[in-house]
Structure formats: structure tokens, C-alpha cells
Homo-oligomer: A and B are copies of this chain.
Amino acid sequence: MTQGAARKPNRRGEGTRLRADIFAAAAALIEETGSEQDVTLREIARRVGIAAPSIYEHFPSREAIVDAVLDAGFAELRAAVEQALASQADPWARLRAGCAAYLNFAAQRPGQYRILFGRRLHLTGRLAAAGDETFGLLVTALRDCAAAGQCATDDPTADATVIWLALHGYATLHPSLPGFAWPSLPAVLDRILSRYAPAGPAGHTP
């Protein structure tokens, strides 16, 4: 409006849109290939329909694009779990909803999930902290169940770890081995959690 100090008109709105297109193409490629290395700068450019060097207006390197997608994916996973937890009042229903959200994310984005938790060195720095916080959500949910008398655990952290291991196992193996006779997602989830339920359908004592 004012006529002084007008800079960066950001013409045609393309600046933002192209960046978003590049990001989306990279996310799709990550999902399709399930491999960081197969997400090449030139293939991204091909899909967006631009010349490869045009990407450098918006990202400093190929690696930065992949990192941006994975950072967003991690944030999305965490947000999905938090939203699921907030949607339920009953502690046991909260625990189950949080775990279901975790498995649903992995089922919808198997390639992205694989890379997120498959990289060797990626989860350092702020991502490591974010991961610890997400795991903390599970520990808290389990502890709340125990406090409400809805859950059998003598060590919520250790049992949350085992639950997470099983969730992660399903998240990665299910897409990898389509030939295996998998139970459905809810059936697997019930069976993972039933051992911690006070009177779960499968939690007998002989």
C-alpha cells in the first residue's frame, strides 16, 4: 500500500507454488520408491515439468528436499497421534486410539515411514528430541491406564517400549511382505494391546 520500501513483489505467486510442487513431487517419489537414494533431483524436476536447475531457487540441495519431506512427515505422524489421544477421554480408549493412529499413518505412507525410522543417523538433534517426546506420549497413555486400574504393567516405560516395537514391526513388515497371512490392522492392534488389558479377550491366565 505505502509507496516506500516496496520490495520482493513475489510475482505471479509462482515462487511459493513451485516450491510446493517440488515438495509434493519429492514426497510422492519417497513414498513410491521407499528409498532416499532413489529420490533424484532430476526425477523431481521431470515430474514437476521444470528444468533441474530451477529447483535451486527453492532448495539449496537435493538432500534438503528429502529432509524437508521427512521432517514434515515426522511432524504429521506426531500430530496424528496427539489428535487421536485428545479425541478420547477414557484412558484405555486413548491408548488404543493413539496406537491406531500410529499404525494408520504407517499404513497410509509406508515408504515414508520406512525411511523415517530406517535411516541410521537421521534421528539426531531436534528430531531425536521429537521422537523421544512422541514415545513419551505412549508412556504417559500407558501410565494413565495403569493409574485408572485399566492396565496391567509394573514398568510403563518398558512395556511401552515393547508395544512400540510391535507397532513398528507391523508398520514395516506388513508393506514389505504382502504374501504373509497378516491379520487386519485392528486385529493386530487388539492382540498387541490385549496382553496389557485387565480383562482383554485373549488375556487369560491358565
Interface string of A41-64 (1 = CB under 8 A from B): 000000000000000000000000
Contacts of A183 in B (CB 8 A): 158, 161
Total interface residues on A, using CB and 8 Å?
A: 54
**A123 and B177 alpha carbons, distance in the complex (Å):** 7
Q: Could you tell me if B118 and A206 are in contact, using CB atoms closer than 8 angstroms? A: no
**A198 — nearest CB in chain B belongs to which residue?**
B206
Given contacts A152-B204, A179-B128, A204-B152, contact A165 B161 (CB under 8 A): no
The reply to whether the CB of A82 lies closer than 8 angstroms to some CB of chain B is no
| A-to-B contact residues, CB < 8 Å | 34-35, 37, 114, 117-120, 123-124, 128, 131-132, 135, 149, 151-155, 157-159, 161-162, 164-170, 172-173, 175-177, 179-183, 187-188, 191-192, 195-196, 198, 202-206
Q: List 20 A-B contacts (CB under 8 A).
A: A35-B37, A117-B177, A118-B118, A153-B202, A155-B202, A158-B183, A161-B188, A162-B166, A164-B169, A165-B165, A165-B169, A165-B173, A166-B169, A167-B169, A168-B169, A168-B172, A168-B173, A195-B196, A203-B205, A205-B205
**A37 and B34 alpha carbons, distance in the complex (Å):** 13
Contacts of A206 in B (CB 8 A): 149, 151-152, 198
Contacts of A124 in B (CB 8 A): 179
Nearest-CB distance from A149 to chain B (Å)?
Answer: 6
Contacts of A157 in B (CB 8 A): 181
**A128 and B180 alpha carbons, distance in the complex (Å):** 9
